[in-house]
Amino acid sequence: NIIRRLGTGNIYLGMNLYSGEQVIIKEARLGSTPTTTNCRYRLWDLKKNEFNLLNNRYFQKNINLPKPEDIFHYKDSFFIIEKKINGITLRKFISQNPLLVTKKYKGNFSNYNRHLKNIIENILLLIFSIHQAGYIMNDISDDNFLIDLTTDKVSVIDIESISKMEENKYRDVETARYILRKPENLTDINADYYKLSLLFLYLIFGKINEFLVDEHFFEKRFQLLKDKMSTIQKDVVNFSLWLYKKSKNNFVDLNTEKIIINKFKFRKFDEEALDNRNLSTSEILTQIKKYYIHKFNLKFDDKFKGTNYLGDLTKYTLTYGILGSMILGKKLAWISEVNLKELIQKVHIEINKNVEKNQLNNGLFFGLAGAALFDYYMDIPFEDNVYLFKLINRINSETNTSFANGLAGIIYALQEMSKNKGYPDFKEIIDSISLSHKEPNNNDEGFEYGDIGWAYILLREYKVSSKTFYLNVASKILKRSTSKYLNEKPFMGISYNSKLWPNIRCPYFMYGSAGLIYVLSLFYNMTGQFNWKIMEKYLTSLNQPYAYNYGFNNGAAGILYVLIKIKEQKDIPGNISQKINSMILNYKRMLLFHYQNKNEVLGWPTDGQIDFADDIGSGTLGIYLVLRKLI
């Protein structure tokens, strides 16, 4: 069986037919991971190096390794066979961190803490043993260590990059996320410990990409979460931050290496808290306003950065592009009339190019509905809104019902424009679409691509038309969406796609439980029957230590927005009100802690935490809109 598919060569689970024992078979494909000096056989050489090390007496005696079985060639691949070791990878252990999940640790928190302490100590001893034998580990990763949770024994299951100190041939074999910000002048021993410090920090926080854009990310995250952390977790963080600082300054050599093990073993730290006075919400909002007034009026089209989901096409779309940002800038009077007119002309040129290339779909997020809504908000007259006319001509052929790319988003755009600013009443078109797609039933569950977005536009239409058809269909959709999880304790959020990923849940607005909670609250308000028992159950999914992203659609800001809107309800039961207040404070603190304003960068990292963006979907302007509601 293939247990891991890789372009460079798969990893297989097999069996020794003579002994009946399971074995691991590692493949190295010819020509993989080439260098300028070794184009064809580089990965073969790495696997041969691994097999030789597995046969090294010192390594087998002093380091927990798989037992070597055999090697062979087949076609253009070289294979090594080793005995299978039972256990879980360090990556799997990270997923059991109680700080990162709502569900309780399978054992309990004390068991997790014991495992964590022993695992850190054993990894340190393992690296120490490799160095004392005159070797360098080079590639340090959560996939390279295997943990036996019955004994906490740590084994190394990928040693192809280990090389002798005096001739380190595999110095460049590294895992990218553990060499972020690595100084170029590090000695090999310090490079190993630098990577190890980042691995340990990732082990606690489950995040690392943001370290690339914020060198103080881990200190900020520690300050944010330390009250929820166990003593050993705090010790690991303090130790890792100490190790990071020491290794990046080339502190470690073979003579001082023992200090590192003792430092963690006795765990006596002088906590060096980050000297970072957190700005208030008002101060941050003031900085953002000043920054964008300047940016909007200084070649904004050139300087704008969106969340790059569709490459260059994204820039001139609504949610993740410049269109939504300009709508906000105009609404807040941040753009002068002269600059706005110039910007609109430039944007129209680029949208027209995409239309001519047939690159725009009909939808709200990335298509004609978004462009038509943009023109409406830019006060383009109805008769001049060419994107709206193109959209209306295409509506009858549209089968997608999603809010992002289909009919739900199109209806939303028509609802916004209907009978406003000289635009006609679109109720006949809306009625026709709604009746011909009465009750879609998608595998996607969220607001963005699932039926919840459809329920949302039906409730909006019911509010203006009072037609019970809209309310009844929305009721059926919401009943179906909520009934799936009535017996789930605790409720962990809804699935992005119930068919493909039934067990992957999230709390976010566009594809998680926050969107469901928001639409459900609208329904309760329209019916005059707010079911706090059900609402309390679904609110539990929002009670997370932190969100992976910061933006509105897929991050903390969207969750915070929903909590703020729920807080506006009347007659909230006291215990639920306390929970909501606590969650609001948690997500607010998260956003305030990770706000940045330095080196010509202002705001929050966008989805994936590898860059900053201005857009309203995942960027700083969307977060700004939510934080304004706290003032």
Question: Would you state the pLDDT for residue 275?
Answer: 42
- Where does the pLDDT of residue 578 fall: very low under 50, low under 70, confident under 90, or very high at 90 and above? very high
Q: What share of the chain is helix, strand, coil (3-state, %, to 5)?
A: 50, 10, 40
Q: Are 452 and 477 in contact (CB under 8 A)?
A: yes
- Work out the average pLDDT over 427-436: 92
Q: Is 423 helix (H, G, I), strand (E, B) or coil?
A: coil
Q: Characterize 31-62 residue by residue with b for buried, 16 or more Cβ atoms within 10 angstroms of its Cβ, and e for exposed.
A: ebbeeeeeeeebbbbbbbbbbebbebeebeee
Distance (Å, whole) CA 249 – CA 486: 54
What phi and psi values does residue 322 have, to the nearest 5 degrees? -75, -20
Distance (Å, whole) CA 429 – CA 411: 9
Distance (Å, whole) CA 444 – CA 497: 4
Question: Would you state the pLDDT for residue 273?
Answer: 42
pLDDT in tens, 207-224: 899 899 889 999 989 988
Distance (Å, whole) CA 545 – CA 99: 7
**This prediction's pTM:** 0.80
Distance (Å, whole) CA 512 – CA 446: 6
pLDDT in tens, 531-552: 999 999 999 999 987 788 999 9
pLDDT in tens, 50-80: 999 999 999 999 899 999 999 999 999 999 9
Distance (Å, whole) CA 189 – CA 441: 57
The mean pLDDT value of the chain amounts to: 91
Domain boundary assignment for the chain: 1-84, 87-276
Question: Would you state the pLDDT for residue 268?
Answer: 61
Distance (Å, whole) CA 22 – CA 12: 10
CA-nearest of 565, 535, 547, 552 to 603 is 552
Q: Characterize 505-517 residue by residue with b for buried, 16 or more Cβ atoms within 10 angstroms of its Cβ, and e for exposed.
A: bbbbbbbbbbbbb
Q: Is 70 helix (H, G, I), strand (E, B) or coil?
A: strand
User: Ranked by mean pLDDT, which of 33-37, 38-42, 222-226 comes out on top?
Assistant: 222-226
Question: Would you state the pLDDT for residue 272?
Answer: 45
Distance (Å, whole) CA 318 – CA 364: 7
CATH of domain 1-84: 3.30.200.20
Long-range contacts of 92-99 (CB under 8 A, 24+ apart): 93/119, 93/147, 93/149, 93/203, 94/142, 94/202, 94/203, 94/206, 97/203, 97/204, 97/206, 99/204, 99/205, 99/206, 99/225, 99/228, 99/229, 99/233, 99/545
Long-range contacts of 377-383 (CB under 8 A, 24+ apart): 377/327, 377/330, 377/331, 378/326, 378/327, 378/330, 378/340, 378/344, 379/421, 380/344, 381/422, 382/421, 382/422, 382/423, 382/424
- Where does the pLDDT of residue 101 fall: very low under 50, low under 70, confident under 90, or very high at 90 and above? low
Could you say which of 3.40.190.10, 3.90.1330.10, 1.10.510.10, 3.30.460.10 is the CATH number of the domain covering 87-276?
Answer: 1.10.510.10
